[in-house]
Amino acid sequence: MTSWTDWALQALACLPGVVVFVELFRALPMMDNLNHLKTTTQKVMGVVRSSKTSDHWKEKILPHYAGVILAASLRNVLYLLIMAAGFALAFCLVGMWFLGGFASAAAMLLEPSVQIIAALLGTAYAVARVKLTPAQGADEHLGSKLLHHLALDSRLLRKAAFDLDCSMSAARKLPPPPGPPVFITGLARAGTTILLEAIYASGRFATLTYRDMPFITAPNFWKSVSSGQRRHAQAKERAHKDRLLVNYDSPEAFEEIFWMTFDQGSYVKENCLVPHKVPREVLLNYRRYVANIIAKDSKDAPLRYLAKNNNNLLRISALKRAFPEAVILVPFRNPLDHAKSLMAQHQRFVKTHQDDPFSLKYMNWLGHHEFGANLKPFRVGNDALPHCPEELADFSYWVRYWSCVYDYVLNQHTAEIVLFDYDLFCRKPAACLEELAPLLRLDKEQLEPFFSKIKSSTRHDHPTVAPEVLARANEVHVELRQRAMAGGQKPSARPQALPS
């Protein structure tokens, strides 16, 4: 006989599963498909009963309707299997901790007690989900947060999703992309987002957008199951409060989730991020991941890959090993303006993370450690880390950090990158994009539609900076400007490519 303790443990294991089941039900076009099936069935009955329709025409049209009904029925079976698999996987992953292991939890799936609990919890959650869903444009609701938690918090689930996506995209035999991938990386607040949007607006690139959340490692799978429930919302200013507007179709820096899934321990430390020496196996998986993203967005002809990822500063050489012809853009700004922006965003997100614990988890899942309660600076020099927590309130530290990061870029990777002066870009967007176009193997006309969206960079009042810190920052800035986009720096020796 099942004890109350057993019932409680089974209910605890069922709860994430029913959330996944209900959220998949809402994301999948199952109701649309059922309505289509109902409409088709009504048409069939109308044709059969009609005395005005000839037998000859009935013989022609009824097989067609039969095929439509069969296809709709098979789609619904597929949707049910996906929902059931989502419930089973979530139940087993959670149950493995307190139901005797993964295999033991899997054996319980057909127990009557589990099915009863799942039915009751599923009904309750589905009703609550409808009640708690806010009006369009409101902040994320409870169900969406739970789905993000389940999709992003488990490395095992993220790896399984990647394997599933590889099997799906492998069926599509696309020709090679018409050019090398483009990677945008730099210290946060360097202008990476506006550069990403300018290049993405050309329509020649595939990248990750907000629509790919939360199953970032399975973009093809998630697109296929959520296409029937595509949401639309008016663009609104992002959490940084930096005048940049985003919606579901906006490109964003989500690919770090891949690196954290397959090699997090190599570069994410307790209080910092270190240069990332990527194993060969991980790079091969990354090439597959890039191909999956290209397959997701490509229709008749393949697109090229485009990614913005600040943490890629720590793996520039690895990216060149994976894609020797890749263009790696590293924007930079005036050090005082840049440091003030970093400091202001850090203070903003510290408060945000205190007020909203979910936002802190979300940033950790994305691998965004640029500022806030989960700050992890790049350890690229002896002075890159704060000497004590109080130093984060000292403007001189942020200027010193800027110098350390860009000095590291100049000393280690100048031959592999293209430096891009963001301040000059804001003053002369047409001239900069015209110079950038051939480096990206684009026509300048493909970048022109974005000219009008470029705004002047924000100027800040700067606190006092230690003289030696300011002098070093100015030296680094002068060298950056001298090396910036002078026809594009070409590597002196091509890195050895990975085999396909």
Q: What is the DSSP string of 144-158?
A: HHHHHHHHHS-HHHH
* β pairing state of 245-246 and 236-237: antiparallel
What is the reported pLDDT for 132?
53
Query: What is the helix (H) or strand (E) element at residue 184, kind and residue range?
Result: strand 182-184
- pLDDT confidence tier of residue 429, bands split at 50, 70 and 90: confident
Helices within 418-466 (DSSP H only):
422-427, 429-439
pLDDT for 6 beyond 50: yes
Q: For 245-289, what is each residue's pLDDT tens digit?
A: 656 778 888 999 999 999 988 999 999 999 999 999 999 999 999
What is the reported pLDDT for 491?
38
pLDDT higher for 190 or 150? 190
Q: Which residues of 8-40 are buried (b: 16+ CB within 10 A; e: fewer)?
A: ebbbebbbbbbbbbbbbbbbbbbeebeebbeeb
pLDDT higher for 481 or 24? 481
- pLDDT confidence tier of residue 30, bands split at 50, 70 and 90: confident
pLDDT for 306 beyond 70: yes
Domain ranges (residues) in the chain: 4-132, 181-483
Q: Is 458 exposed, middle or buried (0-12, 13-18, 19+ CB in 10 A)?
A: middle
Average pLDDT of the residues in 327-337: 95
Residue with tokens 């984060």: 392
Q: Is 263 exposed, middle or buried (0-12, 13-18, 19+ CB in 10 A)?
A: buried
What is the reported pLDDT for 65?
76
The Cα–Cα gap between 9 and 104 comes to: 13
What is the reported pLDDT for 456?
67
The Cα–Cα gap between 284 and 288 comes to: 7
Torsion of CA 382, 383, 387, 389, to 10 degrees: -120
Spatial CA neighbour of 182 closest among 388, 71, 10, 323 = 323
Query: Which segment of 154-158, 237-241, 287-291 scores lowest on mean pLDDT?
Result: 237-241
Helices within 28-141 (DSSP H only):
30-49, 55-95, 102-107, 112-132
pTM reported for the whole predicted model: 0.71
Considering the segment(s) 181-483 as one domain, its CATH architecture is 3-Layer(aba) Sandwich (3.40)
pLDDT for 492 beyond 50: no
Token pair of 172 as six digits: 């599509």
What is the reported pLDDT for 396?
96
Average pLDDT of the chain is 83
DSSP conformation letters of 239-257: TT-SS-EE-TT-B---THH
